[in-house]
Structure 1
């Protein structure tokens, strides 16, 4: 616009207020253009504190607020600018947003109200007389100088229009019968840093705590890394959390983090964690909207809380076998859900060739409930059958030289095992260097 061109200062020119006003417009437009080029969302609240005592009186009022309006106008209340009058909430404002508003600069319009009754209703500044000293000679008496104070007010959504630069402050939920105003605690005002109003900084602290808690639990329960799918998944999850945690520590504790990079970090973490979910893919989250932060943050934060709080179910669960001597080993399967729905695999290692183990072991191993094993052995009764597997189940750690047998879950003996959860295993014959591992494998 021509209204933003610079003034050409030349020798002998006759100075008028127009020259200085045009120079101010040029400098302001230059600063605004540089700021917008450096960051697309360089506006919003840097601090926003509401007067909660006014809620009981049916009003919305500010205690402190500072930031930048969408048109690039900075404000700071109450240290520089005057606080606007409290906004009276009427019963018909349910669901509406209350805005902080200031008149926009308008080309060719009077921007100043001198208080003489002839000012424009949407004049941008009120004239205030200040007594100022000459900083080059502080001994001189102060002189009165007319200054322009930005006219800030609180407006309801229906009264907001293009003549004002607007920042949403709060959303009204209801006005109760006793006059008390209830605000939407989930509403997030446009802001230049996540601690401006508290909701996003609290979210950062919460998610950082969940990341730490999940990483510590995985690290404590990992032990020596094996090669099973479940162990590899835990390792990859721990790697992801360890890579993420230092950044989220900064979000939770460092000042002046802008909501936009914070939102991108939320999306990135949600996308990576979706790999470990049942869907394997992230949903389509809303695009970033600086003037509607609640809408874009709410779904991704909800998913992050669920993804970080959900324990990854292991597909393979080791069952401890206790050596009772004389070829007897026992195991306690406390999880009845495993007995009902999971498959059970016995991994056998021996110094014998694998083919001999495959052929001999099923006939020389007796399995059954603990209270039936003596009867099964003494009377040579069939126990729970073993079926040789051609390859190792993908859910289990791979060990060279091991052969794998699946336990038959059909028959009366398995039903008895489901009731008491105690398994006994008796091995006869010579299997030098025998090592046994029992695994419960959850069905996909």
Structure 2
């Protein structure tokens, strides 16, 4: 008979335990089905704590736990004495998962036993407890029989189809001194990421990265200059980052947060961030959510998010300050010598002279070279690095009215000396009234 069928109650019927058992089965079935339709992956721990002292005795034990098993059974014990017996880990055990298990429901099988038996697969053990009458007209205490789930800690390899289970811990090894060493990166199936240290740590890390990225991009967009193509791209990125920043801030304060809700938010974010990479999309198929391997799947997803945020955090253009050493000589120091190889360099120039004169005479009178070479080049009147006039401002840097832009040509023998030097020397021989210069390093891949 189907235990999910509703019991019919009529006046004058002769009540037996069967009626209440079937009515309870019907209600439990309704709750399980309703809950399963509300969301996927509705099993795991709400709260759990391992007894650390038992690890030194070669055992796995739970101090307290609550949650749902995959078959919808709710369990809760606030004291280890009311939970499953400790599991003694066999010698030489390594790389084994420990699970919390309960016999599955089976038609025709007894569900409750009244004294503990070793070989039975009953799901509950009966126990008696004195309870008070909650009514105002109390009749005193009464002895009531309750049923406690027969939870058991087992090695996953010992599970059969007769058990429903969720992971508790991952045993790396049992040492010769009897200490059980666990994988600190293991995340058991959980219903509340807010209570799970590693998952909540990931959420905190992502929130911090988003705050940093939001401030960085917003700071660049506050710089003076018109809203050019590069800034439009940055603005789009800032919109994306700020949206997920708000979502992450909200999730951090939720008292109950299912890990799949995190996944549903973070996976599209990782795919969106890939738009700003050179490939414009994820190189491989997106990772798949695995409720029984949260550490594995979230580890892959966090790697994608960190990579995406670190890539888009790179500045496409960096202004190098010009330090005046003497009349006509300025020095621009490169923060990292590898930039000489990976970046292009642009000199933005403004002066109170017609643009045609600036374009014609400035490159001839400006000598740029490594600091160690500039004195010889000036004294011997030898050419420095070639300055080539650009038709417009590069899209990576702010545009300012009245400026002309000159790009340094790479490839000369003198350019090879720049990586060793790490600093540009700019020597101007002529006079240009109202002269203002900006020296920019532009990431080559972003051009």
Q: Distance in 2 between matches of 1:156 and 1:383?
A: 73
In the alignment, the residues of structure 2 paired with residue 286 and residue 379 of structure 1 have an alpha-carbon distance, to the nearest angstrom, of 62
CA contact (8 A) 2:338 2:419 kept: no
Q: Aligned equivalents of 1:75 and 1:139: distance in 2?
A: 30
* CA RMSD of superposed structures (Å): 3.3
CA contact (8 A) 1:342 1:442 kept: yes
Please list every run of 5 or more consecutive structure 2 residues that lacks an aligned counterpart in the other structure.
none
Deviates more, 1:378-387 or 1:33-42: 378-387
Greater CA drift, 312-321 or 40-49 = 312-321
For the residues of structure 2 that align with 1:177 and 1:332, how far apart are their CA atoms?
62
Partner SS, residue 33 of structure 2: helix
Taking structure 1 as reference, are residues 423 and 77 closer, same or farther at Cα in structure 2, changes over 3 Å only? same
Pick which of 168-177 and 138-147 moved more: 138-147
Compute the displacement of 1:77 (Å).
Answer: 0.6
1:302-354 CA distances to partner (integer Å, 9 max, x unpaired)?
Answer: 3334444568443433233356786x241232443344554332233345554
Note the alpha carbon deviations across 1:366-403, whole angstroms, 9 max, x for none.
Answer: 44566776776676554443333344434333345433
1:258 aligns with 2:238: no
Q: Return closer, same or farther for 1:336/1:206 CA change in 2, 3 Å cut-off.
A: closer
Q: CA distance change for structure 1 residues 164 and 392 in 2, over 3 Å: closer, same or farther?
A: same
The answer to whether the 8 A contact 1:270-1:304 is kept is yes
Give how far 1:225 is off: 5.0
Separation (CA, whole Å) in 1 of partners of 2:96 and 2:371:
69
Output the CA distance in 2 between the equivalents of 1:85 and 1:66. Answer: 16
Between the aligned partners of 2:309 and 2:217, the Cα distance in structure 1 is 12
Alpha carbons 2:6, 2:23 under 8 Å: kept? yes
Aligned counterpart, 1:86:
86
Q: TM-score, normalised by structure 2?
A: 0.85
* Offset at residue 87 of structure 1 (A): 0.3
Q: 1:372 to 1:158 in 2, by over 3 A?
A: closer
Change (3 A) 1:411 1:273: closer
Aligned partner of residue 224 in structure 1, secondary structure: coil
Q: For 1:27-80, what per-residue CA distance to the aligned partner results, in whole angstroms no more than 9, with x for missing partners?
A: 111111111112222221100100011001110000000111111111111369
Corresponding residue of 2:345? 344
Shift of 1:404: 2.7
> Normalised by the size of structure 1, how large is the TM-score?
0.86
Alignment of 1:228-307 (within 5 A): 236-282=236-282, 283-307=284-308
Q: Secondary structure at the match of 2:64?
A: strand
**C-alpha separation between the residues in 2 aligned to 1:341 and 1:141?**
84
Aligned to 1:95, the other structure's residue is in SS state strand
Q: Does the 8 Å CA contact 1:230/1:315 hold for their aligned counterparts?
A: no
Q: Does 1:48 align with 2:45?
A: no
Residue of structure 2 equivalent to 1:185: 184
Distance 1:374 1:154 in 2: 79
Report the CA distance shift for 1:411/1:107 in structure 2 as closer, same or farther (over 3 A).
closer
Q: Bigger shift: 104-113 or 280-289?
A: 280-289
Alignment partners' CA distance in 2, 1:375 and 1:237: 47
